[in-house]
């Protein structure tokens, strides 16, 4: 296990790469869902106000 | 026949429903492919004879770099379709690409720097491949900045589409930079004519990661495009149906 984590002496470079990748992958999921939810909330408010006006 | 498909695809309510249905069909395979690729790349693949275990950076660096280019091509192509056929769906897809593309371009640069330090002895060099990839990041940021500076969404779509299309010239420059000029960066080992230059135990995990990242991008694009479509179709009647069909707050 320690041998695996040491990455043949390249741990200093290999693991930050994987960490950064996990971060970018995770953030993109979060940003995409947040953008969709806010657009849906906005659209819902609009359709509700249109209904109320008619 | 092709035109019927094209028109159906270009219909916002149809696209919205299709995108909702298709998302899990890309998201789950993406997770499985990446999990398999990580096990293969980090555990099963043998160390490189020159770079030892340092070469394992390839399993995140190459997919990030691949996405940086592929996302740009999708962004520019859908921008062109939007301009030519005035298709709202195409503009929604194009606008959805920029943040994804910019973040993966930054990731490709960052992982490249972390790989360059032990292998080349430097984090950064003004090398053709590195410089043209940095230019790609600026193109994405320019696209986002231009969009943010224009309030009217229709005008933002058209102006940013022109920028995206002009910038596509940089894509072949990035890809062939390692062939055309002397570069520190290695030449392509997978996307080349003839056979890849890697043994299967190293190559298969890389292909799994590339496929996984691609499927992941499609899933993200489908989610983001739905949001962009809602913002462009504010007054359309289909929106109430599309939103009413699902419980509030659920994606």
ipTM of predicted assembly, 2 dp: 0.92
Residue B127 lies in a domain: yes
Residues 6 or more apart whose Cβ sits within 8 Å of residue B71: B97, B100, B101, B104, B217
DSSP 8-state secondary structure symbol assigned to residue A54: -
Chain B residues with CB-CB distance to A29 below 8 A: 220
CB contact under 8 A, A36 and B220: no
pLDDT value at residue A50: 76
**CA separation (Å) from B194 to A42, B105, B185?**
52, 27, 20
Higher per-residue pLDDT: B96 or B181: B96
Give this prediction's pTM: 0.92
Selection from B9, B21, B23 nearest residue B245 by Cα: B21
Could you tell me if residue B247 is inside a domain?
no
Q: What is the pLDDT of residues B93-127, one digit of tens each?
A: 999 999 999 999 999 999 999 999 999 888 998 98
Does B202 reside within a domain? yes
Q: Do A36 and B226 touch (CB under 8 A)?
A: yes
Report if residue B132 sits inside a domain.
Answer: yes
pLDDT of A7 higher than 90:
no
B139 inside domain: yes
Number of domains forming the structure of chain B: 1
pLDDT of residue B247: 47
Domain enclosing residue B218, as ranges? 23-44+56-233
Is there a domain that residue B49 lies in?
no
**pLDDT score at A4:** 87
In a domain, residue B161? The reply is yes
User: Does residue B168 lie in a domain region?
Assistant: yes
Tell me what pLDDT residue B193 has. Answer: 63
Distance from CA of B80 to the nearest CA of A (A): 23
Tell me what percent of chain A is helix, strand and coil, each rounded to the nearest 5: 95, 0, 5
């Amino acid at each position: 296990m320690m041998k695996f984590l040491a990455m043949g002496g390249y741990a200093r470079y290999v693991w930050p790469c994987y960490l950064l990748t996990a971060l970018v992958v995770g953030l993109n999921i979060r940003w995409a869902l947040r953008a969709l939810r806010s657009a849906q909330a906005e659209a819902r408010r609009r359709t509700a106000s249109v209904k109320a006006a008619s | 026949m092709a035109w019927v498909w094209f028109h159906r695809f270009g219909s916002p309510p149809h696209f919205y429903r299709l995108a909702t249905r298709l998302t899990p069909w890309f998201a789950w395979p993406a997770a499985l492919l990446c999990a398999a690729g990580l096990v293969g790349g980090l555990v099963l693949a043998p160390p490189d004879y020159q770079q030892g275990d340092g070469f394992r950076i390839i399993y995140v660096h190459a997919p990030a770099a691949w996405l940086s280019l592929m996302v740009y091509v999708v962004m520019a192509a859908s921008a062109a379709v939007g301009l030519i056929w005035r298709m709202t769906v195409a503009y929604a897809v194009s606008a959805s690409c920029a943040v994804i593309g910019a973040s993966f371009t930054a990731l490709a640069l960052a992982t490249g720097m972390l790989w360059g330090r032990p292998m080349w002895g430097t984090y950064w060099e003004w090398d053709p491949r590195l410089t043209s990839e940095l230019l790609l990041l600026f193109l994405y940021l320019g696209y986002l900045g231009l969009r943010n500076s224009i309030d009217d969404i229709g005008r933002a779509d058209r102006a940013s589409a022109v920028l995206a299309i002009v910038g596509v010239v940089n894509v072949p420059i990035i890809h062939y930079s390692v062939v055309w000029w002397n570069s520190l960066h290695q030449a392509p080992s997978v996307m080349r004519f003839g056979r890849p230059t890697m043994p299967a135990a190293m190559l298969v995990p890389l292909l799994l990661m590339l496929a996984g990242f691609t499927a992941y991008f499609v899933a993200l694009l489908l989610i983001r495009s739905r949001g962009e479509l809602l913002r462009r179709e504010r007054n359309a009647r289909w929106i109430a149906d599309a939103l009413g069909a699902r419980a509030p707050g659920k994606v």
